[in-house]
A = this chain, B = another copy of it.
């Protein structure tokens, strides 16, 4: 699934029945909020899309921005004053926001010329001396630093909200509750390391930093440390919680009613205390008091994922710097990789079964809606052992819908898949043993020459990146070019990153690594054990979309030489689903590329065919994975 700076995704509010989503009409909501602001002597409020954990997808309970503005896109910030209501979002959501916002709202098109970011807009449009409120739990330390700097220069006071959030006052009883999905164990066999072992590693890092504690605010980091999983966020098997690791103690802050005894017992064996979620700030305050004796308490937290409120609770004991959780989690150990491989075989099997079924249906002249295709695919996946959920909202884009990178087919309002156009299918599953994410682009009829040309260039980029060998220390920014060069040569390109990190039965998007032209892709190098997607694409607005995505993991490669005594690294494939040969212009491929395709397909056959029992599916897979040859006159581009 292509990864944006602000991620594509879908409001958890949409998971609720449409009728109950909003309890009052937008006008009265905004007016009620303004009264609440007035009552508290506030001139404005900033409402971002966020929970207290920098989650990509926050639970519905925290979708305050969506509630107050009616705009349900995954990224946006609202600023409400006594007379104005502005909503910022990015180009992916301009159309949707125009539809969803009422006349009371002004849409601020982020990235367009002359559109200042919220903090600058506030500084320039709200009178000096005003009081602007934020909820310190849903702004990170870094955000607040930037915001307060700008507002200070404009002599505007930044007010930390206390008591009930003004939006929640308006929301009232209809505000969704936090999910109550029970916490489950992630078995050590799959995690590859016990909680004790992980705590030991983290404690070594804490000692090396001269700190006494490290705090994890991100939900996937907490789940990783404690080998737990949950279901608090759509598509993400995480638990709303914090982890505070000290040199001698470890605390999981969570709704304790969600922790079954068996989980609590296991955690107790690693001396992990389970404490109420709300107790974190009080505990940090206590630690900061102890910290008054120098060197006693020094709590390590990341400025990019810790909320301002939590940071302030730690007082002078807070030490802001990238914590080690993300990188430790990103570098999977061999048992994790083995589990991930097993999940991918199951996922590949389900996807092959589905594609065989779909091809049969469409090639016989029937059609099916994009939405229904997604439902059917989930049905095949759900038959696999250990299937938990989809890992994101399936993107099934037929024809011109494929060109909408974050497309989501709406039931009853979407296109029918037929033999006439290119079909892009990007989907993934959460399994007990791993997380998958795969995109294949196909054509059930006769593709146009131009579509074949573009598909082949995308394929060449995908192959080039897959084959890249690079010394330890190479970043995703440096690798990105390799996947784009075959497209660039033709004046083609795509406007999303080439790859994102993927969790081990955790979030489908994780850092710190990524493969992209964005500067942030230079922050972390690609390291052994990291799982990343390789997904170049090409999109022609109003016509078609092509994306080819497989997951790979970083492995050490044996090279002829070893200059600088460095490790030389490369990728090993995790995803096994055939790539549509019909869309390949074979005469544009060189011998090495043909070899890569044939070798990949033979691996797909070896790994997936033993899992298929139905003769039709086996025949389908045999045909889809049979070798191609550039000697053949078939499938040429002219």
Which of A86-94, A282-290, A491-499, A611-619 contacts its partner?
A491-499
Range of interface residues on chain A?
A: 20 to 34
Question: A478's contact among B478, B493, B495, by CB below 8 Å, is which?
Answer: B478
Judge if A411 is at the interface, Cβ distance under 8 Å.
Answer: no
Per the bound structure, the CA–CA distance linking A478 and B474 in Å amounts to 11
A564 and B478 contacting across the interface, CB-CB below 8 Å? no
B470 and A488 contacting across the interface, CB-CB below 8 Å? yes
B568 and A488 contacting across the interface, CB-CB below 8 Å? yes
Question: A490's contact among B488, B538, B559, B564, by CB below 8 Å, is which?
Answer: B559
Judge if A279 is at the interface, Cβ distance under 8 Å.
Answer: no
B590 and A489 contacting across the interface, CB-CB below 8 Å? no
Question: A493's contact among B471, B481, B485, B522, by CB below 8 Å, is which?
Answer: B471
* Chain B residues whose C-beta falls within 8 Å of the C-beta of A485 in the assembled complex: 468-470, 482
Least CB separation from A519: chain B residue: B522
Query: Provided the pairs A469-B488, A522-B519 are in contact, do residues A564 and B481 lie with their beta carbons within 8 angstroms?
Result: no
Question: A559's contact among B491, B561, B566, by CB below 8 Å, is which?
Answer: B491
Least CB separation from A493: chain B residue: B563
Query: Provided the pairs A478-B481, A478-B517, A590-B590 are in contact, do residues A490 and B522 lie with their beta carbons within 8 angstroms?
Result: no
Judge if A378 is at the interface, Cβ distance under 8 Å.
Answer: no
A479 and B481 contacting across the interface, CB-CB below 8 Å? yes
* Chain B residues whose C-beta falls within 8 Å of the C-beta of A564 in the assembled complex: 493, 495
Shortest Cβ gap from A44 to chain B (Å): 28
> Which residues of A492-517 are within 8 A (CB) of B?
492-493, 495, 517
B566 and A493 contacting across the interface, CB-CB below 8 Å? yes
Q: Mark A558-578, 1 if CB is under 8 A from B, else 0.
A: 011111101010000000000
> Which residues of A444-497 are within 8 A (CB) of B?
468-471, 474, 477-482, 485, 487-493, 495
Query: Provided the pairs A478-B477, A482-B482, A517-B478 are in contact, do residues A563 and B522 lie with their beta carbons within 8 angstroms?
Result: no
* Chain B residues whose C-beta falls within 8 Å of the C-beta of A519 in the assembled complex: 522
Per the bound structure, the CA–CA distance linking A474 and B479 in Å amounts to 13
* Chain B residues whose C-beta falls within 8 Å of the C-beta of A479 in the assembled complex: 481
* Chain B residues whose C-beta falls within 8 Å of the C-beta of A468 in the assembled complex: 485, 488
Question: A491's contact among B478, B538, B561, by CB below 8 Å, is which?
Answer: B561
Per the bound structure, the CA–CA distance linking A50 and B481 in Å amounts to 37
Per the bound structure, the CA–CA distance linking A562 and B468 in Å amounts to 26
Least CB separation from A481: chain B residue: B478
Query: Provided the pairs A482-B482, A495-B564 are in contact, do residues A522 and B477 lie with their beta carbons within 8 angstroms?
Result: yes
Shortest Cβ gap from A462 to chain B (Å): 15
Shortest Cβ gap from A516 to chain B (Å): 10
Least CB separation from A454: chain B residue: B561
* Chain B residues whose C-beta falls within 8 Å of the C-beta of A493 in the assembled complex: 471, 563-564, 566
A563 and B481 contacting across the interface, CB-CB below 8 Å? no
* Chain B residues whose C-beta falls within 8 Å of the C-beta of A480 in the assembled complex: 478
Shortest Cβ gap from A114 to chain B (Å): 15
B477 and A559 contacting across the interface, CB-CB below 8 Å? no
Shortest Cβ gap from A561 to chain B (Å): 4
Shortest Cβ gap from A588 to chain B (Å): 12
Shortest Cβ gap from A594 to chain B (Å): 13
Which of A470, A478, A560, A590 has the most chain B CB atoms inside 10 A of its CB?
Answer: A478
Shortest Cβ gap from A546 to chain B (Å): 12
* Chain B residues whose C-beta falls within 8 Å of the C-beta of A470 in the assembled complex: 481, 485, 488
Question: A481's contact among B481, B490, B559, by CB below 8 Å, is which?
Answer: B481
Least CB separation from A494: chain B residue: B563
* Chain B residues whose C-beta falls within 8 Å of the C-beta of A566 in the assembled complex: 493
Per the bound structure, the CA–CA distance linking A477 and B475 in Å amounts to 10
Shortest Cβ gap from A40 to chain B (Å): 38
Per the bound structure, the CA–CA distance linking A470 and B561 in Å amounts to 30
* Chain B residues whose C-beta falls within 8 Å of the C-beta of A522 in the assembled complex: 477, 519, 522
Query: Provided the pairs A482-B485, A485-B482 are in contact, do residues A561 and B477 lie with their beta carbons within 8 angstroms?
Result: no
Per the bound structure, the CA–CA distance linking A517 and B522 in Å amounts to 10
* Chain B residues whose C-beta falls within 8 Å of the C-beta of A568 in the assembled complex: 488, 491
Least CB separation from A486: chain B residue: B469
* Chain B residues whose C-beta falls within 8 Å of the C-beta of A560 in the assembled complex: 490-491
A561 and B478 contacting across the interface, CB-CB below 8 Å? no
Question: A489's contact among B478, B491, B492, B559, by CB below 8 Å, is which?
Answer: B559
* Chain B residues whose C-beta falls within 8 Å of the C-beta of A495 in the assembled complex: 564
Per the bound structure, the CA–CA distance linking A238 and B47 in Å amounts to 56
Per the bound structure, the CA–CA distance linking A56 and B110 in Å amounts to 42
Per the bound structure, the CA–CA distance linking A493 and B495 in Å amounts to 31
Shortest Cβ gap from A92 to chain B (Å): 16
Per the bound structure, the CA–CA distance linking A478 and B498 in Å amounts to 13
Shortest Cβ gap from A527 to chain B (Å): 16
Shortest Cβ gap from A631 to chain B (Å): 16
Query: Provided the pairs A468-B485, A482-B482, A485-B468 are in contact, do residues A562 and B477 lie with their beta carbons within 8 angstroms?
Result: no
Per the bound structure, the CA–CA distance linking A298 and B243 in Å amounts to 51
17 contacts between A and B (CB under 8 A): A468-B488, A469-B485, A470-B485, A474-B481, A477-B477, A477-B478, A478-B481, A481-B481, A481-B482, A488-B559, A488-B568, A489-B559, A490-B561, A491-B560, A491-B561, A493-B566, A538-B563
Given contacts A471-B488, A490-B560, A538-B563, 17 further A-B contacts (CB under 8 A): A469-B491, A470-B481, A470-B485, A470-B488, A474-B517, A477-B477, A478-B480, A478-B517, A487-B563, A488-B559, A490-B559, A491-B561, A491-B562, A491-B563, A492-B563, A493-B566, A519-B522
Complex A-B, nearest 9 residue pairs according to Cβ-Cβ distance, in ascending order: A491-B559, A491-B561, A491-B562, A469-B489, A478-B481, A490-B560, A493-B563, A491-B568, A492-B563
